[in-house]
């Protein structure tokens, strides 16, 4: 048996911590238990007759930050969707796949490590790399996704500065109205790619308390992604790095198995608790960059992960000095990853490999209390412990560890006779150190501060103005400091923390036809960590993470939703100018910062109870860096058009599996050549059919 075949599930890091009965307690979750005041109201969903179509409508947190929310049940996403598949449909955020095969977010000029991703409160972006690969995170268990642009609270914990993507699975303080006893779905596309999911739920409800249980599994398998017409003969791309023997994108196959279990309790007096445990096992390839002479030839034979969340609270109750609430959260995120680096595009001979285990434990305490009739005070304490053990060939074994912590407090004051204006002010103190750094220099204890102020005011019937200003820091991840990425990067243990100062202001107008939100923003990132092409001591050009003196981004966002009878039209547009500045004031062009990006969508009812949906996505030209030649190369603008036809069937008998939704979709109708990054094209035209039963 080879060393790769001897790897077992669960990962070694998980087995070491979760021995015996401790697994059900410590494999639990959550760093940031978001306060209900920061959640997005349910009236941000629009229900249309016959089938519920969720549109990402404007919403505002209590601190004045703009956000959007979407429900997965009515999204029309494939069964067992990945986080990437869901977020590519959301407005005002860009998702791109990098050269490691990882899908990463970009928002208002903020990059992947500056956008926090929470799964039931567990910060998936705290870890070895301070980011997570959205392409392999399953959302089989998720019921909604909230996107917060900017910083809505200083209480989220460390390294939260450029936006938040919050996925809710089990956490809720509200009583459940109903639970689907059985749900199932299957989708197949023209390449044979298949996604399947099945789940079961049980609701135990009586006068005094309520229990909700859910469990399910998902499966996804694809042989590869189709290539857009014309790319095989593109003069600036290397043909043998594009297509395999089946005329699919080279090394783009992937297989994922995932499962979840959730339990939620709520007492009539408000006490609540929630547990969610989910995990996945992935095997996949990484398509090589076709614009380079010597790209990566990587595969992931093993990517395994378990994320668990345990949270609970007292509910709001009288304390003798007003009303208070106390919540706790524990989090666990552990997994194993094996990377194989091959000698050439035939993927037959392994030249190097990297085998790693990761473990992240988070703990959090959040309290809230009223201050009279018109104010409240909230405070939080968060701790995260990150461990990463790796074995490199060549290179040997090494262990790394990082500790992060945050203390925060904020207060909200409601003004006006009806409390129509809300002011908030908060501050945080964050810290980090790296007590274990393999054979490299340790980074001593460093700290930084965060502050935030926000306002929301209903100035007229149907017109809300809002704004906020914030400053927050992000400490370099272990990978940014120490990793060589199998010879692709030069380590830089001297990296400094980056700090983001952000300001936004805008309005949300609501009328009989719909809503529109316009937000202007300005962000200034000092000591921003960017990659540069450098010549190392051995004469080979590699990437290296360095501190940019300053990165400035200024722009505006528009999000609109309109209904005309039973039809819905949505649109979003981001206009931005993002640039780097050296210490002497010299402007520096940056990678992957489009000046324009937007989407336009429509859902229209047709005869025979059919619904037609269409989406057009546009991205203006960008720049990318090629380390083999140095300097930036242009990446052309692109547009993608999708159409979907859906129909809902209802069984007369009612009960479990009595509703069926059938759909057929064409993705990238024009078979356009669209690139996430230079040399990394998105799929060409795909025809897909799917069924969902519940």
Residues 569-588: pLDDT tens digits? 999 999 999 988 887 888 88
Instruction: Reply yes or no: is the peptide bond before residue 10 cis, omega within 30 of 0.
Output: yes
What backbone torsions phi and psi does residue 42 show, to the nearest 5 degrees? -70, -15
CA 415 vs CA 97, 293, 376, 433, 587: distances in Å: 46, 63, 13, 42, 43
- Cβ contact 274:172 at 8 Å: yes
Low-confidence ranges of the chain (pLDDT < 50): 1-54
Q: From CA 386, how far away is CA 407, in angstroms rounded?
A: 18
Q: From CA 73, how far away is CA 277, in angstroms rounded?
A: 20
Q: Please compute, for residue 17, the number of CA atoms within 13 A of its CA located in the half-sphere on the CB side.
A: 22
Of 424, 619, 384, 472, whose CA–CA distance to 110 is shortest? 472
Q: Where are the domains of the chain?
A: 12-693
Longest dimension (CA), the chain: 75
Of 624, 484, 477, 587, whose CA–CA distance to 543 is shortest? 484
Per-residue b/e over 420-429, b at no fewer than 16 CB within 10 Å? eebbbebbbe
Of 544, 573, 571, 569, whose CA–CA distance to 557 is shortest? 573
- Cβ contact 264:179 at 8 Å: no
What backbone torsions phi and psi does residue 687 show, to the nearest 5 degrees? -105, 130
| Helix or strand (DSSP H, E) at 479 | helix 478-482
Query: What is residue 672's predicted lDDT score, i.e. its pLDDT?
Result: 94
Of 578, 583, 618, whose CA–CA distance to 110 is shortest? 578
Partnered with residue 255 across adjacent β-strands are 221, 283
Residues making up the chain, counted from first to last:
694
Q: From CA 682, how far away is CA 95, in angstroms rounded?
A: 11
- Cβ contact 656:181 at 8 Å: yes
Query: What is residue 309's predicted lDDT score, i.e. its pLDDT?
Result: 95
CA 276 vs CA 14, 185, 311, 656: distances in Å: 16, 22, 9, 24
In this prediction the pTM is 0.86
Of 139, 142, 258, 265, whose CA–CA distance to 202 is shortest? 265
Please give the structure tokens belonging to residue 460: 């007229």
> Would you call 42 helix, strand, or coil by DSSP?
helix
Per-residue b/e over 583-594, b at no fewer than 16 CB within 10 Å? eeeeeeebbbbb
Query: What is residue 217's predicted lDDT score, i.e. its pLDDT?
Result: 97
Q: How many CB atoms lie within 10 A of CB 415?
A: 14
Task: Give residues with Cβ within 8 angstroms of 495, minimum separation 6.
Answer: 476, 480, 481, 529, 545, 546, 547
Each as own residue / partner, the long-range contacts of residues 577-583 (CB below 8 Å, 24 or more positions apart, any chain) are 577/553, 578/109, 578/551, 578/552, 578/553, 578/554, 579/551, 579/552, 580/528, 580/530, 580/548, 580/549, 580/550, 580/551, 581/548, 581/549, 581/550, 581/551, 581/552, 582/548, 582/549, 583/549
Eight-state DSSP code of residue 134: T
Query: What is residue 24's predicted lDDT score, i.e. its pLDDT?
Result: 33
Opening angle at CA 514, ends 149 and 577, nearest 5: 35
User: How far out from the chain centre does Cα 210 lie?
Assistant: 31
Q: From CA 39, how far away is CA 73, in angstroms rounded?
A: 19
CATH superfamily ID and name for 12-693 = TonB-dependent receptor, beta-barrel domain (2.40.170.20)
Q: Please compute, for residue 561, the number of CA atoms within 13 A of its CA located in the half-sphere on the CB side.
A: 20
Quickly tell me which residue has 């200003």 as its tokens: 469
Q: From CA 475, how far away is CA 480, in angstroms rounded?
A: 10
Opening angle at CA 256, ends 252 and 259, nearest 5: 160
What backbone torsions phi and psi does residue 372 show, to the nearest 5 degrees? 80, -155
| Helix or strand (DSSP H, E) at 87 | helix 83-87
> Would you call 482 helix, strand, or coil by DSSP?
helix
Partnered with residue 602 across adjacent β-strands are 569, 614
Please give the structure tokens belonging to residue 551: 């990165």
Quickly tell me which residue has 């001591």 as its tokens: 537
């Amino acid at each position: 048996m080879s060393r790769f075949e001897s790897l077992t599930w669960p990962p070694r890091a998980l087995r070491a911590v979760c021995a015996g009965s401790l697994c059900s307690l410590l494999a639990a979750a959550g760093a940031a238990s978001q306060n209900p005041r920061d959640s997005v109201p349910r009236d941000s969903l629009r229900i249309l007759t016959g089938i519920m179509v969720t549109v990402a409508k404007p919403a505002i947190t209590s601190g004045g930050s703009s956000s959007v929310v979407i429900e997965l049940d009515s999204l029309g996403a494939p069964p067992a969707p990945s986080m990437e598949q869901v977020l590519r449909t959301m407005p005002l955020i860009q998702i791109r796949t990098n050269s490691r095969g990882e899908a990463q977010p970009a928002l208002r000029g903020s990059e992947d490590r500056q956008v926090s991703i929470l799964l039931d409160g567990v910060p998936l972006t705290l870890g070895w790399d301070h980011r997570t690969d959205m392409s392999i995170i399953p959302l089989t268990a998720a019921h909604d996704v909230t996107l917060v642009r900017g910083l809505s609270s200083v209480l989220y914990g460390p390294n939260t500065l450029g936006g938040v993507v919050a996925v809710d699975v089990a956490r809720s303080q509200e009583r459940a109205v109903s639970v689907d006893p059985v749900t199932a779905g299957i989708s197949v596309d023209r390449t044979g790619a298949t996604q399947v999911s099945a789940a079961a739920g049980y609701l135990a409800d009586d006068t005094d308390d309520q229990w909700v249980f859910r469990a399910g599994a998902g499966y996804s398998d694809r042989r590869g992604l189709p290539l857009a017409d014309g790319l095989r003969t593109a003069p600036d791309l290397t043909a043998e790095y594009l297509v395999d023997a089946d005329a699919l994108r080279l090394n783009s196959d992937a297989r994922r198995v995932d499962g979840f279990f959730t339990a939620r309790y709520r007492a009539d007096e408000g006490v609540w608790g929630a547990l969610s445990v989910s995990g996945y096992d992935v095997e996949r390839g990484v398509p090589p960059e076709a614009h380079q002479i010597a790209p990566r030839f990587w595969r992931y034979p093993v990517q395994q992960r378990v994320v668990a969340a345990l949270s609970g609270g007292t509910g709001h109750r009288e304390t003798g000095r007003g009303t208070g609430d106390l919540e706790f959260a524990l989090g666990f995120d552990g997994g194993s990853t094996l990377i194989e680096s091959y000698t050439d595009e035939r993927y037959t001979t392994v030249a190097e490999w990297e085998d790693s285990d990761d473990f992240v434990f988070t703990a959090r305490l959040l309290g809230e209390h009223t201050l009279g009739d018109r104010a409240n005070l909230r405070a939080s304490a968060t701790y995260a412990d990150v461990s990463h053990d790796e074995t490199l060939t060549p290179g040997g074994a090494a262990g790394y560890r990082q500790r992060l912590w945050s203390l925060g407090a904020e207060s909200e004051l409601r003004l006006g006779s009806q409390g129509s204006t809300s002011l908030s002010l908060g501050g945080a103190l964050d810290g980090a150190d790296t007590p274990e750094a393999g054979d490299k220099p340790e980074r001593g204890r460093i700290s930084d501060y965060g502050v935030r102020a926000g306002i929301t005011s209903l100035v007229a019937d149907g017109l809300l103005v809002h704004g906020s200003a914030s400053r927050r820091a992000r400490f370099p991840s272990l990978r940014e400091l120490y990793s060589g990425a199998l010879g692709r990067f030069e380590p830089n243990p001297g990296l400094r923390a980056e700090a983001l100062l952000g300001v936004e202001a805008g309005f949300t107008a609501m009328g009989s036809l719909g809503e529109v939100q316009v937000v202007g923003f300005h962000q200034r990132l000092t000591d921003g960590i960017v990659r540069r092409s450098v010549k190392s001591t051995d004469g080979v050009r590699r990437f290296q993470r360095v501190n940019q003196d300053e990165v400035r981004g200024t722009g505006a966002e528009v999000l609109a939703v309109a209904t005309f009878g039973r039809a819905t039209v949505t649109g979003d547009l981001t206009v931005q100018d993002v640039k780097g500045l050296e210490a002497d004031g010299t402007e520096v062009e940056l990678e992957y910062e489009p000046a324009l990006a937007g989407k336009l969508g429509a859902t229209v009812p047709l005869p025979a109870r059919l619904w037609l949906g269409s989406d057009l996505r546009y991205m203006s030209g960008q720049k990318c860096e090629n380390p083999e030649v140095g300097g930036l190369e242009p990446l052309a603008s692109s547009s993608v058009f999708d159409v979907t036809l859906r129909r809902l069937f209802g069984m007369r008998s009612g009960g479990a599996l009595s509703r069926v939704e059938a759909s057929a979709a064409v993705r990238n109708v024009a078979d356009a050549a669209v690139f996430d990054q230079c040399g990394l094209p998105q799929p060409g035209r795909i025809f897909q059919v799917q069924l969902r039963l519940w």
